């Protein structure tokens, strides 16, 4: 599966999880990512380079973006926009030392996460406006991701998707 599609697949899976998991509020909910406030218009960010799109969801990378977060080396940072508004970030990384550094940094910044299973390295911080998910696996290779998403815009996307599905269903009856 191409990496661009994996980013979107991870994004949708984790968004779906946030809708059905118990609320687990966290401290210091971020109002932005790397200085870009949630909801910022794409047109106001001239340093973005287009990566991929699925419908109204588009992924970009930021020119000269740092590939370091805390003490961890990153493999990718993708900025996600819905209808031209900044709503999510996908951060990819590899290796156990980067995972340990990122997990430690997130715990320090946001407190204790919700962890659905002790067998899997998956952690969720759910806030009023922003959710954060950290996942890591050694199989088939040691890699993981952090996804931040801004709930007001993502809830709008879900409502738009439900309305489209209802219109399609109505067209078949």
The CA–CA distances, whole Å, from 50 to 1, 10, 97, 124 equal 19, 19, 30, 28
Radius of gyration of the chain from Cα atoms? 16
Q: Are 145 and 32 in contact (CB under 8 A)?
A: no
Strand partners for 61: 49
pLDDT for the residue 9: 46
pLDDT for the residue 24: 53
CB atoms within 10 A of CB 86: 24
- pLDDT band of residue 151 (cuts 50, 70, 90) is very high
Output the pTM of the full model: 0.84
Rounded CA gap, 36 and 78, in Å?
Answer: 13
Looking at residues 90-118, what average pLDDT do you find? Answer: 95
Q: Are 49 and 41 in contact (CB under 8 A)?
A: no
pLDDT tens digit string along 57-93? 999 999 999 999 999 999 999 999 999 999 999 999 9
Alpha helix (H) residue ranges in 111-150: none
Average pLDDT of the residues of the chain: 88
The three-state secondary structure class of 37 is strand
For residue 66, the 8-state DSSP code is -
Strand partners for 136: 121, 144
pLDDT for the residue 66: 96
Looking at residues 108-116, what average pLDDT do you find? Answer: 94
């Amino acid at each position: 599966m191409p990496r661009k599609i994996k980013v979107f697949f991870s994004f949708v899976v984790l968004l779906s999880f946030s809708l059905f998991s118990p609320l687990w509020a966290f401290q210091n909910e971020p109002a932005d990512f790397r200085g870009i406030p949630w909801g910022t218009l794409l047109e106001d960010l001239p340093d973005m380079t287009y990566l991929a799109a699925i419908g109204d969801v588009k992924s970009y990378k930021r020119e000269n973006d740092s590939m370091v977060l805390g003490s961890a080396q990153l493999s990718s940072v993708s900025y996600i926009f819905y209808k031209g508004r900044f709503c999510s970030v996908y951060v990819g990384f590899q290796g156990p030392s980067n995972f340990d550094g990122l997990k430690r940094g997130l715990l320090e910044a946001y407190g204790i996460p919700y962890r659905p299973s002790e067998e899997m390295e998956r952690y969720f911080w759910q806030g009023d406006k922003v959710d954060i998910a950290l996942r890591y696996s050694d199989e088939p290779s040691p890699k993981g991701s952090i996804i931040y998403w801004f709930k007001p815009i993502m809830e709008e996307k879900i409502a738009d998707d439900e309305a489209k599905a209802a219109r399609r269903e109505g067209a078949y009856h």
